[in-house]
Amino acid sequence: MKILAIETSCDETSAAIVENGAKILSNVVSSSVKIHAKIGGIIPEIAAREQLKAIIPVIKKAFASAHLKPTDIDAVAVTSGPGLIGSLLIGVETAKTLAYVWNKPLIPVNHLKAHIYANWLGKDSPTFPNVALLVSGGHTDLILMKTYGKFKWLGGTKDDAAGEAFDKIARLLNLGYPGGPMIAKAAESGDKNTYPLPRPMINSPDLDFSFSGLKTAVLNKVKLLTETKPFSPTQTSNLAAATQAAVVDVLVSKTIHAAKKYKVKEILLAGGVAANKLLRKEMAERFEGKVLAPPVNLCTDNAAIVAACAYFNYQPKPWQKIKADPSLHF
């Protein structure tokens, strides 16, 4: 089965064609991140306008790259939520129109679940049951996955998501946007032990997270260090390294706690922050079971993961009943 998928939940515009939920025939992504980087964050209206311009060319390129035409696909899938409402509408309305014109089944996909299915596009297929850590700019969640489509939400962030904390701390350190990759790069030349930072909720018995306190701790440290003289590049690198180490320590500890509590032997990483090298390394070293992570290029928003999720959860709906829903959760 070949599925054309469309993803427009945030600032990326993506279309992909995936066969049987695992073989990527094409995966085209157009991002407006350079525009948003100028002001250090996403402006929803601008993101949607850029997607409106990019959506048709991206879909055409996905077919051209796969050497296929609309009659060759079996279904259309689209991210219906959560996400930015303006952006979601671009993808949903486009998908509804194409499914109607081409007379193809239409499958709405939950964006959060799609990120987890990125693991089925790698070299090794996951086994059940497993615990998935979904960690991105908007979400930090732990999920027990019993089988395809059967998710149990175990816990999540009480305030800032890990990726959001990275973005805000990167802004404090004048590192730029997006924050996660910028902090990781600066951390390469830093000493994580120079500035001890808190690990919020790391020892709490629940499976929830909190990163706002870490953000405040970095803010206070920056204010203290800049009272008498300007912030130095070495201090920036050291604070970046300390920040990354603190976030990763909390994520790894909580995820392993969840895996032990539910007696699973496999952990899946998903979401944009899953591309972080230290997170991958620490999780693999500290967990006694198997750790799977998607290819780095599939951690961020893209349509291939939407197609994979649609294949393994094949539930077409009449196009009239599919709506963009920014409030969707697991």
* Cα gap 297→274, rounded to integer Å: 10
Mean pLDDT throughout 253-277? 97
In this prediction, residue 8 carries a pLDDT of: 98
> Residue 75's beta-bridge partner residues?
3
Letter string b/e over residues 60-93, b meaning 16 or more CB atoms within 10 A of that residue's CB: eebbebbebeeeebebbbbbbbbbbebbbbbbbb
Vertex 200, ends 213 and 180: CA angle to 5°? Answer: 70
Quick one: pLDDT band at residue 43, thresholds 50, 70, 90?
Answer: confident
* Cα gap 69→292, rounded to integer Å: 34
In this prediction, residue 123 carries a pLDDT of: 82
**Residue 229 or 187, more confident:** 187
Closest CA to 292 of 192, 182, 145: 145
In this prediction, residue 39 carries a pLDDT of: 67
Mean pLDDT throughout 27-54? 84
**Residue 178 or 32, more confident:** 178
Average predicted confidence (pLDDT) for the chain: 95
Vertex 18, ends 138 and 318: CA angle to 5°? Answer: 75
Quick one: pLDDT band at residue 41, thresholds 50, 70, 90?
Answer: confident
* C-beta separation of 282 from 249 below 8 A: yes
pLDDT at 210 exceeding the cut of 90: yes
Q: What is the DSSP string of 60-110?
A: HHHHHHHT--GGG-SEEEEEEESS-HHHHHHHHHHHHHHHHHHT--EEEEE
* C-beta separation of 134 from 115 below 8 A: yes
In this prediction, residue 31 carries a pLDDT of: 85
* C-beta separation of 22 from 120 below 8 A: yes
Helix-helix angle 162-172:233-261, to 10 degrees:
170
pLDDT at 33 exceeding the cut of 80: no
In this prediction, residue 38 carries a pLDDT of: 67
pLDDT tens-digit map of 85-100: 999 999 999 999 999 9
pLDDT at 5 exceeding the cut of 70: yes
Q: What percent of the chain has pLDDT over 90?
A: 88
pLDDT tens-digit map of 68-80: 999 999 999 999 9
pLDDT tens-digit map of 104-126: 999 999 999 999 999 999 888 89
Quick one: pLDDT band at residue 137, thresholds 50, 70, 90?
Answer: confident
Closest CA to 267 of 275, 277, 256: 256
pLDDT at 307 exceeding the cut of 70: yes
In this prediction, residue 154 carries a pLDDT of: 98
Mean pLDDT throughout 181-185? 96
